[in-house]
Amino acid sequence: MALPRLAILLISIAAALVSTPAFAADGTRGTVERMYVLECGESRTEDVSLWSPGVDVGVAREFSDNCYLIRHGAHWLLWDSGMSDAIAAKPEGVSAGGGILTLFVRRTLASQLAEIGVAPTDITHVAFSHFHGDHVGNANLFTAATVLVQRAEYDLAFGPDPAKAGYVPALYEKLKDNPTVKLEGDHDVFGDGSVVILATPGHTPGHQSLLVHLPKQGAVVLSGDMVHFRENWDAQRVPVRNFDQGQTIRSMERIATLLVAEGAVLWINHDRTQSATMPRVPRFAE
């Protein structure tokens, strides 16, 4: 059925508004000053094929786990909060995911924030790629921040049965009274196109990634768990436990297109090899 011409025009305008980042009044993008890449734990699996079905069956692999702290004007945005700092008290690690992973924390998030002179109450915005425990582990520290979350993820995490999705409310329940912006798609965090939340569902229903325009390095996309490591990105493999396989593939394709359009680099959160190349606190990316 053909759409009336006015409807097509309105749809086109709406699409343009959604896809074009906003710019500051002088026509330039607003500025991200710097981005810290915080060490927020490590994990080890004895069988990586749970993430790469049919490939490397029975092969062990270690994953990095980062948090990212972005300075923009007077604001601090924390992207992901890693594994719980409480795990640091157990150097032998903690079993997670029904035994498929062992989690380690060698450097706490709190100690890294202290090292750079940022108090948890200084964080004005917090966003999580999704609500799995290795991403919301220290969420309860940030009760003063505005939470930016996809509505689908919020409804699952704060709904009647978060455990069914593998979520652990004790890790993030103190956020329930925070100012919260429930998103249904992309979101330009500071209204100037410099930091944009990208809806990338699939790993979980309300999974999101983050586009950051760094002043010197240029654009980067923080993956969240849209993909877990480089080989899976190259071969478009979808982990066994993802919420929706087809949605995951579509999100990967979407990001691949966006990387080209933005001239951006993909930073894959759990890729230990790539994470080892990142500047660590007190150093930062800019």
The nearer residue to Zn ion, 194 or 232, going by C-beta atoms, is: 232
DSSP 3-state of 101: strand
Binding of Zn ion by 207 (CB under 5 A): no
**Rounded to the nearest whole angstrom, what is the least distance from the CB of residue 102 to Zn ion in the complex?**
16
Contacts for 32 with CB less than 8 Å, ≥ 6 apart: 70, 71, 72, 194, 195, 212, 213, 214, 215
Which listed range, 23-31, 112-120, 149-157, 222-230, lies at the site for Zn ion (CB under 5 A)? 222-230
Binding of Zn ion by 132 (CB under 5 A): yes
| Number of shown-chain residues binding Zn ion (CB under 5 A) | 2
Which listed range, 49-57, 105-113, 225-233, 253-261, lies at the site for Zn ion (CB under 5 A)? 225-233
The nearer residue to Zn ion, 108 or 248, going by C-beta atoms, is: 248
CA 48, CA 61: separation in Å to the nearest integer?
A: 6
- Exposure string of 211-229, with b = 16+ CB inside 10 Å and e = fewer, is bbbbeeeebbbbbbbbbbb
DSSP-assigned letter for residue 227 = -
Query: For residue 76, which of 114, 118, 45 has the smallest C-alpha distance?
Result: 118
Tokens 């948890």 belong to residue: 120
Give me the torsion for CA of 222, 227, 232, 233, rounded to 10°: -50
**Rounded to the nearest whole angstrom, what is the least distance from the CB of residue 72 to Zn ion in the complex?**
26
Binding of Zn ion by 42 (CB under 5 A): no
**Rounded to the nearest whole angstrom, what is the least distance from the CB of residue 177 to Zn ion in the complex?**
25
The nearer residue to Zn ion, 125 or 132, going by C-beta atoms, is: 132
Among 39, 65, 85, 225, binds Zn ion (CB under 5 A): 225
The nearer residue to Zn ion, 48 or 285, going by C-beta atoms, is: 48
Give me the torsion for CA of 172, 278, 230, 78, rounded to 10°: 20
**Rounded to the nearest whole angstrom, what is the least distance from the CB of residue 63 to Zn ion in the complex?**
10
Binding site for Zn ion (CB under 5 A): 132, 225
